[in-house]
């Protein structure tokens, strides 16, 4: 059997969006919150989580119920609800309805970026005496259970790349489409708040230790930042081959036009002080999309609010964009959503789609005193109306997983 040639058009159209987040559970609600500068960070009950007198986080208030989620834990329900919503938004039929309607005959895949799939299970098992984690009676992997709930029989995998996990999921889905392995692929990720996660990031001194006001705790690029605020949620996009989307008359929300990846492996949690590899991920994404640095209208920064990470990213953006850097607006939506960890990259792709849809750049909250080491065209406090056709979204995961996605307005 001969292998199908790689199509010249490597782009993938975005035809559906689903999400469950601290800022809302649908595109318009989330877009409104981002552009209004509303924060999802609140004080939470510290029982089982807190290492400080007051604990701040960005939780999901409530996960919409579904009849098919009885066997799933919180992480699974976040994945299932977002994936089902994305599929419905794309007009791909009801749950499990791959046998007819507009996706008849389509080859559909699923890629989820999940770094904490077993975390809750491990925690519960540890408290129960440690007997069930490796039991043969445990259910199949989460991604395959989600695929079964959705009626997806195509390829289904989980990827883990720390804070860039869901971005790598989108990149892999786009690659599958470009190679002709699938026509449609649901891709994104999810993460949850957990005692283990809080303890780990706290001990790494990655979390903010502010205790004055939850809304003011996340401060990307600000000179007084002291770490990120944990969030939870899920975001899933439907990516689709252009010919398939056009053939069924799909509404197109945008295009995943370019992907760039690199690794530096300098330290497990500290970014490299040499911006070369992080910048290369941005440059490769622009090259893949056929976009010059001056053609970028908005950068959604990874910027979580850590003292070292924000400086490293600012240097990478300046190196990648060169002279154009002074004229490209940059903001961090983590100042409102908190850091969704494995789901962050997919959520921030959604934020780029919101910016394109509303022709407005979401702000960075709490950017009262920009760090002089982060010289960028910041958008502090309030949204900025701006013509937007091309966006770049950065994700830099612990351990050196560097990723940039170029998301373009639909042609």
Q: Please pick, among 84, 149, 302, 378, the residue that the annotation labels catalytic.
A: 302
163 is catalytic: yes
Dump the DSSP string for 243-279.
HHHHHTT----EEEEEEEEEE--S-SSSPPS-THHHH
378 is catalytic: no
Alpha-carbon distance 369 to 351, whole Å?
24
- Tell which residue, 362, 356, 360, 405, has the closest CA to residue 173: 405
Q: Please pick, among 339, 352, 374, 378, the residue that the annotation labels catalytic.
A: 339
- Tell which residue, 220, 226, 210, has the closest CA to residue 335: 220
Dump the DSSP string for 195-252.
HHHHHHHHHTT-B----S-GGGS--TTBTT---B-BB-EEEEEEEE-HHHHHHTT---
| Contact residues for 101 (Cβ-Cβ < 8 A; gap 6+) | 92, 93
149 is catalytic: no
Q: Token pair of 188, please?
A: 């994104």
Rounded to 5 degrees, what are φ and ψ at 385?
-60, 135
Alpha-carbon distance 139 to 93, whole Å?
27
Cβ contact 345:394 at 8 Å:
no
Q: For residue 96, what are the CA distances in angstroms to 12, 68, 148, 176?
A: 23, 10, 8, 22
User: What is the separation of C-alpha 186 from the centre of its chain, rounded to a whole number of angstroms?
Assistant: 13
Query: Which residue matches tokens 């950068």?
Result: 299
**Cα dihedral across residues 69, 197, 340, 25: positive or negative:** positive
Q: Token pair of 160, please?
A: 């883990």
- Tell which residue, 110, 298, 270, 260, has the closest CA to residue 190: 110
Alpha-carbon distance 375 to 314, whole Å?
7
Q: Please pick, among 79, 163, 185, 352, the residue that the annotation labels catalytic.
A: 163
Dump the DSSP string for 143-210.
HHHHHHHHT--S-EEEE-BTBTHHHHHHHHHHHHHHTTS-SEEEEEEEE---HHHHHHHHHTT-B---
* Strand duo 233-240 + 12-20: pairing: antiparallel
Catalytic residue numbers read: 163, 302, 339
């Amino acid at each position: 059997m001969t292998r199908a040639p790689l199509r010249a058009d490597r782009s993938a159209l975005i035809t559906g969006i689903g999400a469950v987040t601290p800022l809302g559970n649908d595109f318009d609600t989330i877009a409104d919150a981002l552009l209004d500068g509303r924060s999802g960070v609140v004080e939470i009950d510290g029982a089982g989580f807190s290492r400080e007198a007051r604990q701040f986080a960005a939780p999901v208030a409530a996960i919409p119920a579904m009849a098919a989620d009885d066997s799933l834990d919180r992480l699974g329900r976040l994945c299932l609800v977002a994936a089902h919503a994305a599929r419905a938004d794309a007009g791909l039929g009801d749950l499990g309805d791959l046998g007819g309607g507009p996706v008849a005959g389509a080859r559909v895949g699923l890629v989820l970026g999940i770094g904490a799939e077993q975390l809750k299970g491990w925690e519960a098992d540890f408290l129960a005496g440690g007997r069930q984690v490796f039991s043969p009676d445990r259910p199949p992997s989460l991604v395959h259970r989600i695929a079964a709930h959705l009626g997806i029989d195509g390829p289904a995998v989980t990827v883990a790349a720390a804070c860039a996990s869901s971005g790598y999921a989108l990149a892999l889905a786009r690659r599958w489409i470009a190679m002709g392995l699938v026509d449609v692929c649901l891709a994104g990720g999810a993460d949850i708040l957990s005692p283990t996660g809080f303890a780990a990031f706290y001990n790494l001194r990655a979390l903010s230790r502010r205790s004055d006001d939850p809304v003011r705790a996340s401060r990307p690029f600000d000179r007084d930042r002291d770490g990120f605020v944990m969030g939870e949620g899920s975001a899933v996009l439907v990516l689709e081959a252009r010919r398939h989307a056009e053939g069924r008359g799909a509404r197109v929300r945008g295009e995943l036009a370019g992907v760039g990846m690199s690794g530096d492996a300098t330290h497990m949690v500290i970014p490299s002080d040499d911006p070369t590899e992080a910048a290369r991920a941005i440059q490769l994404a622009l090259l893949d999309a056929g976009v010059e640095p001056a053609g970028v209208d908005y950068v959604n920064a990874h910027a979580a609010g850590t003292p070292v990470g924000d400086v490293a990213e600012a240097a990478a953006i300046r190196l990648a964009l060169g002279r154009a850097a002074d004229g490209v607006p940059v903001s961090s939506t983590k100042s409102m959503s908190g850091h969704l960890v494995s789901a962050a990259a997919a959520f921030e792709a959604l934020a780029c789609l919101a910016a394109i849809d509303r022709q407005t750049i979401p702000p960075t909250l709490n950017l009262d005193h920009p760090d002089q080491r982060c010289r960028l065209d910041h958008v502090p406090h309030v949204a900025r109306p701006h013509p937007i056709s091309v966006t770049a979204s950065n994700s830099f995961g612990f351990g050196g997983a560097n990723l940039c996605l170029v998301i373009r307005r639909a042609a």
